[in-house]
Structure 1
Amino acid sequence: MFVSRIARRIASPKKALASAAVAAATAGMVLTAAPAHAATADSAASAQAIAHKMIPSAAQYNAFSKIVEHESGWNVTATNSSSGAYGLVQALPGSKMATAGADWKTNPKTQIKWGLDYMNSRYGSPTAAWAFWQANGWY
């Protein structure tokens, strides 16, 4: 990738990344950050299985899954180093998820419940939240 080649050639990768982001923005491109920590295959599969049980509609599950994949890579402890957003659905602040359960920091079921409630209350459904995400790059 373009950014990686610049980062390897320049002594300060952060400056290179910032320059690449400015260049991309000028060109009308959007750079998205990867989750801070990749989820293990087992933990991601476990969280996905929980979500499947909680979201019986295939269309709603698929939309929810796409958002979570983009936001956290299905990593229950993903933390955005810039904003502090946390968890599968990148709640900001993460402590908002305490309304769904005291175990919000580590329990995918609690985070999924909170995320579903958020998507339903703010957008009407996960599919509507995904449509918003596609249009804006965030939800």
Structure 2
Amino acid sequence: MIVIGGGGFVAYRAIQNANEPPPTPFSLNDLGKIAAGDPFAPDPQSDLLKAEAEQAYRADKLKKDRSGAAGKDLDWVVPEKAPGGDGFPSMNFPPGSDPSPGSNKATAKAMLASNGFGADQWGCLERLWQKESGWNERAMNRYSGAYGIPQSLPGTKMASAGADWQTNAATQIKWGLGYIKGRYGTPCAAWGHSQSVGWY
């Protein structure tokens, strides 16, 4: 192990930052959406957290692969309580209301057309949210804290679709479809972005 002083660390980070690709600049349209309070506009802070979570996941996976650890861990967990924030207290999940990925998929499939998506987008959406949450409305990313079926970061963003965002799969799906439409245009575009960088 090599220990370097503060100046050495600064130089090291400067070299690392110089080797990273420059961030994509916001378009005037994106900046207008942000200024207008568009809940689906790009959010640089959330995007950075997602990217850092993806890096942490890949580092953990590499470490497990090198150590020969058996099995594949999911990058999400189910917390004991639904998360809170922004005035929403964390809350217990209703008794006897276990997640039903099959029902959640059926709900999303039925909501596609009302959000302007054709049936050709279903396969992309199914794969995207299977990767993100396993279609579990209680899924929380162990690295970033993203929550719910669409993995909203923070989960409280889903409150724009309904106050029951913590436990209601349909509310999460409604928000998620709006997010995809506003940010990527289609589920297939969102899936392509996720395949490219590991998050959407």
Q: Once superposed, what is the RMSD of the aligned Cα atoms?
A: 2.8
| Cα shift at 1:60 | 1.5
| Cα shift at 1:74 | 0.6
Q: 1:76 to 1:20 in 2, by over 3 A?
A: closer
Whether the 8 Å CA contact 2:99–2:137 is kept in 1: the answer is no
Deviations 1:81-124 (CA, angstroms, capped at 9, x unpaired): 22111000110000000000001011111111111111111111
Deviations 1:40-87 (CA, angstroms, capped at 9, x unpaired): 997101101101110142222221111110000010010112211100
In the alignment, structure 1 residue 122 sits paired with structure 2 residue 195: no
Count of aligned pairs: 116
Structure 2: gaps of 5 or more residues:
1-57, 66-71, 79-96
Letter in 1 for 2:75: A
Structure 1 residue aligned with 2:155: 94
- Segments of 4+ moved more than 6 angstroms: none
Q: 1:138 to 1:32 in 2, by over 3 A?
A: farther
Larger Rg: 2
Bigger RCO (CA 8 Å, 6+ sep): 2
Calculate the TM-score normalised by the size of structure 2: 0.51
In the alignment, structure 1 residue 137 sits paired with structure 2 residue 198: yes
- Residue 106 of structure 2: which of 30, 49, 55 is its match? 49
| Cα shift at 1:18 | 5.7
Counterpart CA distance in 1 for 2:62 and 2:106 is: 36
Percent same amino acid among aligned pairs?
46
| Cα shift at 1:19 | 6.8
